[in-house]
Amino acid sequence: MSTILEISHATRRFAGLVAVNDVSFTLEEGEILGIIGPNGAGKTTLISLISGTLMPSSGDIVFEGQSVAGLPAYRRARLGIGRTFQIMRPFPGLSVLDNVAVGALFGRNEGSLAEARERARGHLDFVGLGRFASQRADELGGPGRKRLELAKALAMRPKLLLCDEVMAGLNHVEIDEVIGVIRKLRDSGISILVIEHVIKAIKSLSDRLLVLHHGVKIADGAPDAVLADRAVIEAYLGKRRA
Ligand SMILES: Nc1ncnc2c1ncn2[C@@H]1O[C@H](COP(=O)(O)OP(=O)(O)OP(=O)(O)O)[C@@H](O)[C@H]1O
């Protein structure tokens, strides 16, 4: 296995607040890394630093051996960094298929709209949305929108996929289905970083877990060991329950 992503001393400040504080870790090719932490721990900020929607105040982000810390998001997408968004905003009025086709025109793709649509159809089938292709995207329910977010990210043909709470608000059956989709993605060769609040789901999905608390990395290792760590229990569940 080789390292696809290396974060070195990444820090992001917002005025007086340090949302991500001197965080370092690596992600190996083909690995699923789960990131957990209480609300406001800095998880989404960290993903934004990697995808390029936010720039680090200091520190470096190296993707496939190249520093990307100073590149805008679209350049990182072209290199193969794809992400989903916690708040889903499908293009209103566009069909489910065309929402994904738009993604297929960006990222590491070339070609016509017709080709983009054809690829989009494949991605919709992959996430189980094939039969909704011609429906308006803003008419999809919550679980459908989560799958659409995944299909849109996939359409950019990422080598690294950053998933921001793609299981939030789903029931057990829907969570198992999304876990199945993410595992299939990994099996297709994509390295994956997942932020999730549903501990049971992220534990079974992740090869490794990293815990953030007040912007600081407090644990990084095998899921069972990390979840049994006293500092993690105190941070994540609150001292009273530790
Ligand atoms: N654009 C911004 N401007 C100012 N403060 C911000 C901004 N974005 C995030 N923050 C702050 O940075 C901290 C980390 O936020 P972030 O959204 O990364 O946490 P999170 O772990 O993803 O939380 P949640 O689990 O609630 O989504 C929070 O205190 C948040 O209020």
Q: What percent of the chain has pLDDT over 90?
A: 58
CA of 164 to the centre of ligand 1 (A): 13
- For residues 13 and 212, is the Cβ–Cβ distance under 8 A? no
Name the residue among 7, 103, 116 with its Cα closest to residue 62.
7
Give the number of C-alpha atoms closer than 13 A to the C-alpha of residue 20, restricted to the C-beta side.
27
Portions of the chain given CATH number 3.40.50.300: 3-80+158-241
Q: Whose CA is nearest to atom 18 of ligand 1?
A: 42
Instruction: Give me the pLDDT at residue 230, please.
Output: 93
Mean pLDDT score of the chain: 89
We find that the CATH architecture of domain 3-80+158-241 is 3-Layer(aba) Sandwich (3.40)
DSSP H helical ranges for the chain: 43-51, 73-79, 96-104, 113-127, 142-154, 172-187, 199-205, 223-228, 230-237
CA of 152 to the centre of ligand 1 (A): 24
Q: What is the CA radius of gyration of the chain?
A: 18
What is the pTM assigned to this prediction?
0.90
ipTM over the 0.90 cut-off:
yes
User: What is the whole-number distance in angstroms between the Cα of residue 39 and the centre of ligand 1?
Assistant: 8
